[in-house]
Structure 1
Amino acid sequence: MTFAACAAPSVAFINPGYSSEPFWVSYSHFMQAVADDLGMELEIHYAERDFNRLLALGRQVRDRQPDYLLFVNEIYAGPELLRIFEDSPVRLFNVHSTLTTSQRERTGNPRERYRNWIGSLIPNDEEAGYLMGKALAAMKPPGQVEMLAFGGVPQTPSAQLRNLGLLRALGEHPDIRLRQLVNGEWSRQRARDQARTLFERYPAVRLVWSANDEMALGAIEAVRERGLQPGRDVQFSAANNSAEVFQARLEGDIGALTSGHFTLGGWALLLVHDYHLGRDFAERIGVDALGKVFRLLDEEQVALLQRRLGAAPLQVDFRRYSRVLHPERVGYPLDLSPLLDVPTQAR
């Protein structure tokens, strides 16, 4: 079925994070920039990290019947959302955290049991964990070194995959001893409190791996309380794109920063836009797509992203990446390259 004669679609996004959470707010802002360029109607609802609220929002969206719903399998909510929308004309697209293998044994894959579930797009989370682990290994002093690691919410596939990436990196570096991997649950305060206890227990730790920026910043506070200097006495990794973590990377407190996954919802909108107007993304990337959005950022790239993300409106013309509007295009970027390229108006 094609929709070539239709206007751009209406889309609802259930954002699983807090409405005050820097990462998820930036995620929504990037989506809005893409929607504005493509003429799409976008409504964003924050679940405030509450499972019941997330499902209630899903029911509200089902009753309003926009053309599409974008959802995240946070706290394993994906199968229940698919069930809620099973008999709905709303088409569903899964972004950021896809359903797990065990969940798919019950739901099937996109376009199978749930015919209105048209696809998914997830980030290369395992590679993100691996890249941060390898970068920390490259910064360590000679000889045996001890590490602490802070993972996210354990019921989130993204957190699980980043942990697996770290363990793969450590498998290549037997001279790094992982003292403990704890669930910081993406929280600065929780990670700070955990780090205070863990540094008392393991005072020789010199590497700290964190699955996001908030946990890294919390652990840095705990290190400073001990009279140690981050970036010199203890090396840190982090993921995300907050203004604070960008500054910490530029000042050297964080030595390894990976980012890019905040773009994923925006790229999902681009895929939905083209699908709605008759160019099925599955022809090029399949129904289960992996966006290689994560990359390690050097200081120059961080400074560039800092400037570009701070601009309003975002100085990127997302229409140029649509295969409907530009039929000569072969595929989709699905990465950070449009934001790390020279500004559009300078072309």
Structure 2
Amino acid sequence: MLKYCFTLLLALSAAWGSAARAESVLFLSPGGTNETFWVTYAQFMRAAADDLGIDLQVRYSERMPELTVVQAREALQGPQRPDYLIFVNEQYVAPQIMRLAQGSGVKLFMVNASLTDNQKSLLGERPDLLGSLVPNDEEGGYLMLKELIRQHPPAAPGQVIDLLAFSGLKITPSAHLREQGMYRALAEHPQVRLRQLVYSGWTRQRAYEQARMLFQRYPKVSLVWSANDEMAFGAMQAYSETGGVPGKDALFSAVNTSPSALQAKVDGRLSVLMGGHFTLGGWALVQLHDHELGVDLNRQGGRDQMLALLQVVDQAQARRLLAMQTSTDYRVNFRRLSAKGRPAAYRYPFSMHTLMH
């Protein structure tokens, strides 16, 4: 009996100790609390944190990079510092955050947009920067236009197919990379003519205002490429006001698996939908939890990884993702993805397949 009590006491002590040692993570979201993508992104992180026993805090900067820097300063130089800080190199704020982090004892991890080559050369090696996870933005932009063109009827001899493109912000790495992918696809299809690319700041209203003018200027446009869902919806609204039917008279594309985008794909109003990168923050938490457990992230595919998360979402997948978003845990067992105790050849199975399995 005494031996049993002692064993129980040890077990309770271990459980209490592990709970007391729960690592704290702060995520600085560059988006707004009204942006479906970044809200969904944080929800997926919350599901991962709950499963992994991580103390997660999320702060939004409402698309103001100067606010991100203020939030970073408070976290990195204040009295209650997190164990880990996850942030995005949105509008290239990473160097400022990393300067603030120097000597703070906080470990850093980047998602969605990491350091540029120029920033890396200026900052040098930083032991407090554990690594980064970024999506295949360039490939995503490429695949999106390729699929749009594939679905479009062939151009008549001597004719061209007119394309409009709506991008985010010039100073956002993901927008720049998606554009590069679009231009790569264009180079492979000379029958498609890009009439104009505009920057809509990721917003529906700005894209709507621009699209109203652009559809008047280019009435024969039948392909519309958009770097996110909000801009696609703005362009679709403007197109509908001309009497055109999205998905029939012109084919529209978008990035992001928001409920409205998924429904538009199911309904056929969106012809091409790319998605999957909202999971990056959750996957990053799996890696940070492993780091806490003593896993060497360098052995598990390297410090800095690009994940092929952006992929074409078909109607059946759109329906499944819609149903999944009613579940707070996304039906993912994050603990089972751990590299702890796995062979060196193990690679994290971070993908849409893991999500849909």
Aligned: 1:51 with 2:61: no
Aligned: 1:334 with 2:356: no
Question: What amino acid sits opposite 1:79 in the alignment?
Answer: P
Match of 1:93 among 95, 102, 109: 109
Match of 2:56 among 30, 39, 42: 42
Aligned: 1:267 with 2:283: yes
Residue 300 of structure 2 contacts residue 339 of structure 2 at CA under 8 Å; is this kept in 1?
A: no
Q: CA deviation at 1:314?
A: 2.5
1:131 counterpart residue number = 143
Question: What amino acid sits opposite 1:249 in the alignment?
Answer: K
Residue 308 of structure 1 contacts residue 339 of structure 1 at CA under 8 Å; is this kept in 2?
A: no
2:190 counterpart residue number = 174
Aligned: 1:305 with 2:321: yes
CA distance in structure 2 between the aligned counterparts of 1:182 and 1:52, rounded to whole angstroms? 25
Give structure 1 regions of 4+ aligned residues with deviation exceeding 6 angstroms. none
Q: Give the secondary structure class of the aligned counterpart of 1:327.
A: coil
CA distance in structure 1 between the aligned counterparts of 2:220 and 2:330, rounded to whole angstroms? 44
Question: What amino acid sits opposite 1:130 in the alignment?
Answer: Y
Q: CA deviation at 1:288?
A: 1.1
Aligned: 1:21 with 2:32: no
Alignment of 1:61-72 (within 5 A): 61-62=75-76, 63=78, 64-72=80-88
Q: CA deviation at 1:171?
A: 0.8
1:6-32 CA distance string (max 9 Å, x none): 734211000110011100000000001
1:314 counterpart residue number = 330
Question: What amino acid sits opposite 2:227 in the alignment?
Answer: A
Q: How many residues align?
A: 332
Match of 2:90 among 52, 74, 83: 74
Residue 294 of structure 1 contacts residue 335 of structure 1 at CA under 8 Å; is this kept in 2?
A: no
1:287 counterpart residue number = 303
TM-score normalised by the chain length of structure 2: 0.91
Residue 44 of structure 2 contacts residue 329 of structure 2 at CA under 8 Å; is this kept in 1?
A: no
2:254 counterpart residue number = 238
Residue 270 of structure 1 contacts residue 322 of structure 1 at CA under 8 Å; is this kept in 2?
A: yes
TM-score normalised by the chain length of structure 1: 0.93
CA distance in structure 2 between the aligned counterparts of 1:200 and 1:97, rounded to whole angstroms? 35
1:258 counterpart residue number = 274
2:128 counterpart residue number = 116
Alignment of 1:177-256 (within 5 A): 177-256=193-272
Aligned: 1:140 with 2:152: yes
Q: CA deviation at 1:337?
A: 1.3
Alignment of 1:155-174 (within 5 A): 155-174=171-190
Aligned: 1:105 with 2:121: yes
Q: Give the secondary structure class of the aligned counterpart of 2:300.
A: helix
CA distance in structure 2 between the aligned counterparts of 1:100 and 1:180, rounded to whole angstroms? 27
1:186-215 CA distance string (max 9 Å, x none): 110000111001111111100000000000
Residue 149 of structure 1 contacts residue 208 of structure 1 at CA under 8 Å; is this kept in 2?
A: yes
Question: CA RMSD for the aligned pairs?
Answer: 1.3
CA distance in structure 2 between the aligned counterparts of 1:286 and 1:331, rounded to whole angstroms? 10
Q: Which has the larger radius of gyration?
A: 2
Question: What amino acid sits opposite 1:315 in the alignment?
Answer: R
1:167-200 CA distance string (max 9 Å, x none): 0111110000000111111110000111001111
CA distance in structure 2 between the aligned counterparts of 1:316 and 1:269, rounded to whole angstroms? 13
Question: What amino acid sits opposite 2:219 in the alignment?
Answer: P
Q: CA deviation at 1:33?
A: 0.3
Question: What amino acid sits opposite 2:129 in the alignment?
Answer: W
Q: CA deviation at 1:105?
A: 2.2
Q: CA deviation at 1:141?
A: 2.1
Query: Which segments of 5 or more consecutive residues in structure 2 lack a partner in the other structure?
Result: 1-16
**Percent of aligned positions with the same letter in both sequences?**
46
Query: Which segments of 5 or more consecutive residues in structure 1 lack a partner in the other structure?
Result: 342-347
1:84 counterpart residue number = 100
Residue 8 of structure 1 contacts residue 38 of structure 1 at CA under 8 Å; is this kept in 2?
A: no
1:242-299 CA distance string (max 9 Å, x none): 1111111011010000100000011011111101111122112111111111110111
CA distance in structure 2 between the aligned counterparts of 1:308 and 1:260, rounded to whole angstroms? 13
CA distance in structure 1 between the aligned counterparts of 2:45 and 2:220, rounded to whole angstroms? 43
